Amino acid sequence: MRYHWISVLTVLATVPLGGLATPHSPRWNDMHMKHSWDSVPLNWESLGQPPADATINLLVALEPHDGDALIDALYEVSDPRHKR
Amino acid sequence: MPLLWCRYGAHLSKEQVATLVAPHPHTLGLVNSWLEHYGVPSASVSVAHGGSVLTLTGVPVSQANNLLGTSYQLYRHAETNETILRTLSYALPAVLHRHVQTVVPTTCFVSPLVQQLTPRKRSGGAAAGLAGVASGEPVTVLSSRDDIITPSYLRWLYSTSAYRPTATDKNKLGIVGYLRDYPSPADLAAFMLRYRSDAADATYTVVPVNSGGYDPRKPGIEANVDIQYAEAMAYPTPHIFYSTGRGPSGREDRYLSWLLYIIEQPSIPQTISISYGEDENKYPQGHAMFVCSLYAKLGARGVSVLFGSGDDGVGKNKNCVDSSGKVQFVPFFPASCKCDNFSSACEHTSTSTGGGSVLTTFRRSLGH
């Protein structure tokens, strides 16, 4: 708990980022599930882990700074009756 | 006065779209700190699409497991024997959840090879006799069947029988194909001779995407049907066939490969037709939302993307169940990908009651 309060105070004192404020040292091991299946999807079977030297290319899609801007723009340019 | 600020038709450029969807600098900083914490070298991280997509190249699977609190495994598809590297679940640090839409590939098991083709029952017959033959001989049974959708019927249905496309020096029509499904120019010539003899010189160009191949001697039914019917409707508008592969690794997502390619292009055909789709409930929600946002980017740039909505109307008999077994219609994705589905702003501005019903369906069916 003590660690927790110290983090909050640090943020309030030094990072005035409003709603986006986070601790200077985020708890990277505080993992929360992003998505999961209850079972292996139909028609797929596990072959186990890949070879130890296997690599993977990952794509990380980031949220836009304004979640509505793209769709707003899409409607504005696509709908002749749009108010803008 | 309103016309002065009406933005209808004022389509955005690639750069303008990139600005719209750029992440907050704080998002980028946070994600970079996360990658640094887990030892992902910055040299393997590249930024694309205005900073909205990070690509991590050559990440050891053990490191990816740590990064995402998961355990990647190889999975094989029972019907196609295709193997893919996926996981049944993945996690992110709590602080990242509202900054990261999705990580790919993780839990999306849509088969690269299994495809659910769009309206085959009625339209397939006419071209199926040609597809795969490359012989130029239409099947004679066509004229005796009354359940065949012919180009002349479609042109009558859409009142375009007398219409001849204009601005063919500016307009283009794109047909997207995946994996080893190619059209045949010989089959196209035979089809047009039979059904649009006034357009018998129809042709198309092939653009390979992500190591996609092209062998017109081995045409596929889907690619043939798609190019034949598009040409029969839109001739003499120039046609482009995108032959999409799965990249050097042979394992990349087919839909994403093409999307990530096309949104990087400064100039894109005004109309794109994609005749592939899957049941929406096969898609993790974050993944589906990401794909939808890429289509929205195309829309904002003035590109109309047309999808098939399936072969079976609202669903096959005894097949209308969601992921929990509850009886309900299963939408087809990405045909179900309306922008209403992922923007509260659109919810409030849309006046379409149809959009509302789609929204409900989309949200409900993704609620797994």
Regarding whether B30 and B69 lie in a shared domain, the answer is yes
pLDDT band with cut points at 50, 70 and 90 for residue B228: very high
Report the run of H or E that residue B152 belongs to, with start and end: helix B151-157
The residue type of A55 is T
Q: Does A75 touch chain B (CB under 8 A)?
A: yes
Q: Is the Cα torsion angle B95, B97, B101, B104 positive or negative in sign?
A: positive
Asked if B28 and A75 come within 8 Å (Cβ–Cβ), the reply is no
Average confidence (pLDDT) over B295-301? 94
> Which pairing describes strands B332-333 and B276-279: parallel, antiparallel, or unpaired?
antiparallel
Task: Summarize pLDDT for B17-38 with one digit per residue, the tens.
Answer: 999 999 999 999 999 999 999 9
Closest-CA residue of A relative to B28 is: A62
The residue type of A49 is Q
- Please report the pLDDT score of residue B87 as a whole number: 97
Percentage of chain A surpassing pLDDT 70?
69
Residue B236: is the preceding peptide bond cis (ω within 30°)? yes
| Mean pLDDT, all residues of chain B | 80
Task: Summarize pLDDT for B237-278 with one digit per residue, the tens.
Answer: 999 999 998 877 767 788 888 999 999 999 999 999 988 887
Asked if A62 and B27 come within 8 Å (Cβ–Cβ), the reply is yes
Half-sphere exposure of B266 (CA within 13 A, CB side): 0
Percentage of chain B surpassing pLDDT 90?
56
Closest-CA residue of B relative to A61 is: B53
Chain A CB contacts of B98 below 8 Å: 63
Asked if A33 and B83 come within 8 Å (Cβ–Cβ), the reply is no
B65 versus B311: the higher-pLDDT residue is: B65
Chain A CB contacts of B75 below 8 Å: 40, 44-47
> Is B244 within the bounds of a domain?
yes
Regarding whether B92 and B136 lie in a shared domain, the answer is no
> Is B174 within the bounds of a domain?
yes
Asked if B76 and A54 come within 8 Å (Cβ–Cβ), the reply is no
Domain count across chain B: 2
> Is B273 within the bounds of a domain?
yes
Regarding whether B227 and B288 lie in a shared domain, the answer is yes
Task: Summarize pLDDT for B60-98 with one digit per residue, the tens.
Answer: 999 999 999 999 999 999 988 888 999 999 999 999 999
Task: Summarize pLDDT for B234-245 with one digit per residue, the tens.
Answer: 999 999 999 998
> Is B102 within the bounds of a domain?
no
Regarding whether B167 and B47 lie in a shared domain, the answer is no
Task: Summarize pLDDT for B116-127 with one digit per residue, the tens.
Answer: 444 343 334 444
Q: How many helices (H) and strands (E) does chain B have?
A: 12, 14
pLDDT band with cut points at 50, 70 and 90 for residue B329: confident
Task: Summarize pLDDT for B142-164 with one digit per residue, the tens.
Answer: 333 455 788 999 999 999 999 99
Regarding whether B331 and B191 lie in a shared domain, the answer is yes
Tokens of B149: 């959708």
| Domain final residue, candidates B96, B127, B145 | B96
> Is B7 within the bounds of a domain?
yes
The three-class DSSP label of residue B139 is coil
> Residue B307 is part of which domain span?
116-365
Regarding whether B142 and B92 lie in a shared domain, the answer is no
| Domain final residue, candidates B96, B130, B146 | B96
Nearest CA distance, A16 vs chain B (angstrom) = 12
B280 versus A34: the higher-pLDDT residue is: A34
> Is B111 within the bounds of a domain?
no
- How many CB pairs lie under 8 A apart between chains A and B? 245
> Is B140 within the bounds of a domain?
yes
Q: Does B297 touch chain A (CB under 8 A)?
A: yes
Regarding whether B165 and B58 lie in a shared domain, the answer is no
Q: Does A57 touch chain B (CB under 8 A)?
A: yes
Closest-CA residue of B relative to A19 is: B26
Q: Does B364 touch chain A (CB under 8 A)?
A: no
- ipTM score for this prediction: 0.81
Regarding whether B206 and B83 lie in a shared domain, the answer is no
Residue A5 pLDDT greater than 60, yes or no? no
Residue B289 CA to residue B285 CA, distance in Å, equals 6
Chain A CB contacts of B97 below 8 Å: 32, 34
Average confidence (pLDDT) over B190-219? 95
- Please report the pLDDT score of residue B13 as a whole number: 94
Task: Summarize pLDDT for B172-194 with one digit per residue, the tens.
Answer: 999 999 878 899 999 999 999 99
Regarding whether B355 and B311 lie in a shared domain, the answer is yes
Q: Does A13 touch chain B (CB under 8 A)?
A: no
Chain B CB contacts of A22 below 8 Å: 26, 30, 95
Regarding whether B328 and B198 lie in a shared domain, the answer is yes
Regarding whether B131 and B38 lie in a shared domain, the answer is no
pLDDT band with cut points at 50, 70 and 90 for residue B333: confident
> Is B80 within the bounds of a domain?
yes
Nearest CA distance, B357 vs chain A (angstrom) = 18
The three-class DSSP label of residue B107 is coil
User: CB-based contacts of B148: which residues, under 8 Å, 6+ apart?
Assistant: B122, B123, B125, B126, B142
CATH of the domain at B294: 3.40.50.200
Regarding whether B137 and B84 lie in a shared domain, the answer is no
